[in-house]
Structure 1
Amino acid sequence: MTLVDTVRRFNRSYTQRIGALDESFLGTGRPLGASRLLFEVGPDGAAVRDLRERLDLDSGYLTRLLSRLADDGLVDVRPDPADRRRRLVTLTAVGQTAYRELDERSERKARGLLEPLTERQRARLDEALGTADLLIRAATVHLRVVDPVSDAARTALGEYYAELGRRFPGGFAPEPRDDGADALRAPGGAFLVATSDGAPVACGGVRRLDDSTGEIKRMWVAPDWRGAGLGARLLRRLEDEARRLGYARAVLDTNRALTEAIAMYGRAGYREIEPYSRDNPYAEVFFEKPLV
Structure 2
Amino acid sequence: MTLEVRTVPADTPEVDALLDAYLDEREATFPSAQGSYARKRTPAAEFAPPRGTFVVASEDGRAVGCGGLRRIPDDGDDVRFEVKHVFVTPDGRGRGVATAVMDALEAGGAALGATAIVLDTNDSLVAAGAMYRSRGYERVPAFNENPNATAWYRKPVR
Q: Identify whether the pair has TM-score above 0.5, normalized to the shorter chain.
A: yes
Pick the structure with more strand per residue: 2
Pick the structure with more helix per residue: 1
1:204 aligns to what?
Answer: 67
1:172 aligned onto 2:37: yes
2:83 aligns to what?
Answer: 216
Contact residue 38 and residue 148 of structure 2 kept, 8 A:
no
**How far off its partner does 1:184 sit?**
0.9
- Choose from 30, 47, 64 the match for 1:184: 47
2:150 aligns to what?
Answer: 284
Q: Distance in 2 between matches of 1:224 and 1:182?
A: 29
**How far off its partner does 1:162 sit?**
1.2
Q: 1:20-35 maps to which residues of 2 (within 5 A)?
A: none
Change (3 A) 1:210 1:173: closer
- Choose from 109, 117, 130 the match for 1:263: 130
Q: Distance in 2 between matches of 1:197 and 1:174?
A: 30
The higher relative CO (CA closer than 8 Å, separation ≥ 6) is in: 2
Contact residue 148 and residue 181 of structure 1 kept, 8 A:
yes
Q: 1:22-171 maps to which residues of 2 (within 5 A)?
A: 137=1, 140-170=2-32, 171=36
Structure 1 unmatched runs, 5+: 1-136
SS of alignment partner, residue 202 of structure 1:
strand
Give the letter for the 2:46 counterpart. A
Q: Distance in 2 between matches of 1:165 and 1:172?
A: 5
1:227 aligns to what?
Answer: 94
**How far off its partner does 1:260 sit?**
0.6
Runs of 4+ in 1 over 4 A off after TM superposition: none
**How far off its partner does 1:216 sit?**
0.4
SS of alignment partner, residue 9 of structure 2:
coil
Structure 2 unmatched runs, 5+: none
Question: What is the RMSD of the two structures over their aligned residues, measured on CA atoms?
Answer: 1.4
TM-score, with length taken from structure 2:
0.89
Contact residue 167 and residue 257 of structure 1 kept, 8 A:
no
TM-score, with length taken from structure 1:
0.50
Q: Distance in 2 between matches of 1:173 and 1:253?
A: 14
Q: Distance in 1 between matches of 2:26 and 2:93?
A: 16
Q: Distance in 1 between matches of 2:48 and 2:102?
A: 17
Contact residue 68 and residue 85 of structure 2 kept, 8 A:
yes
Q: Distance in 1 between matches of 2:46 and 2:129?
A: 24
SS of alignment partner, residue 218 of structure 1:
strand
